[in-house]
Amino acid sequence: MTTPNLTRPPDGEVIAIMVVWNGLLFLPEGVASVLRELRPQDDLLIVENGSTDGSAEWLHQHYPDIAVLQTGHNLGGAGGFNAGMTAALRCPRCRYVWLLDNDIIVESGALPPLLNQLAHQPNAAAAGSQICLYQQPDTVQEIGALLSPWLGALQQRGAGGPRQSPEQPPAPVDYLAACSLLIRADVLRAIGLFPDFFIYYDDVEWSQRAGRAGWTLWAVPASVIRHHFSGLKPAAAWREYYRKRNRTVFLTLYPPRYGRQWALFVYLIHLHRLILHTHWCGHTVFHQTYTAALQDALNGQLGARALLPSPQLARLPDLLQTCAMVWIDLPGQPGDAQLLARLLQSSTPAIPCQIIDAAQPQNPAPAACPAAIVGENYRLHTARRAAIVYRYRDGHFTPLHHPVRDLIITQILNGLALLAAMFRAIPDFQRLRTRYRQRQTPLIPD
What DSSP character marks residue 162?
A: B
Q: How confident is the model at residue 1 (pLDDT cuts 50, 70, 90)?
A: very low
Decide which of 382 and 359 is more confident. 382
What is the percentage of the chain residues whose pLDDT exceeds 70? 94
Cα–Cα distance, 81 to 72 (Å, whole number)? 14
Q: How confident is the model at residue 319 (pLDDT cuts 50, 70, 90)?
A: confident
Quickly count: other Cβ atoms within 10 Å of residue 325's Cβ.
15
> Taking residues 189-212, what's their average pLDDT?
96
- Chain-wide mean pLDDT for the chain? 92
Nearest C-alpha neighbor of 298 from the set 417, 206, 430, 438: 430
DSSP string, 63-106: -TTSEEEE-SS--HHHHHHHHHHHHHHT-TT--EEEEE-SSEEE
Q: What are phi and psi of 372, to 5 degrees?
A: -145, 145
Cα–Cα distance, 254 to 264 (Å, whole number)? 9
What pLDDT is recorded for position 414? 95
> Taking residues 155-165, what's their average pLDDT?
96
What pLDDT is recorded for position 232? 65
What pLDDT is recorded for position 358? 54
> Taking residues 297-304, what's their average pLDDT?
94
Q: How confident is the model at residue 318 (pLDDT cuts 50, 70, 90)?
A: confident
Q: Which residues pair with 44 in a beta bridge?
A: 16
Question: How do residues 220-229 score in pLDDT, each as one tens digit?
Answer: 999 999 999 8
Q: Which residues contact 239 (CB under 8 A, 6 or more apart)?
A: 200, 233
pLDDT above 50 for 361: no
Cα–Cα distance, 286 to 290 (Å, whole number)? 6
Q: Which residues contact 347 (CB under 8 A, 6 or more apart)?
A: 316, 321
Q: What is the pTM for the complete model shown?
A: 0.91
Helix (H) or strand (E) holding 425: helix 403-437
Distance of CA 74 to the CA centre of its chain: 17
pLDDT above 70 for 231: no
pLDDT above 60 for 92: yes
- Terminus-to-terminus CA distance in the chain, angstroms? 15
Cα–Cα distance, 225 to 319 (Å, whole number)? 46
What DSSP character marks residue 130?
A: E
Cα–Cα distance, 266 to 247 (Å, whole number)? 12
Question: How do residues 379-427 score in pLDDT, each as one tens digit?
Answer: 999 999 999 999 998 888 999 999 999 999 999 999 999 999 999 999 9
Nearest C-alpha neighbor of 254 from the set 149, 145, 143: 149
pLDDT above 80 for 348: yes
Q: Of 31-40, 320-329, 412-421, where does mean pLDDT reach its minimum? A: 320-329
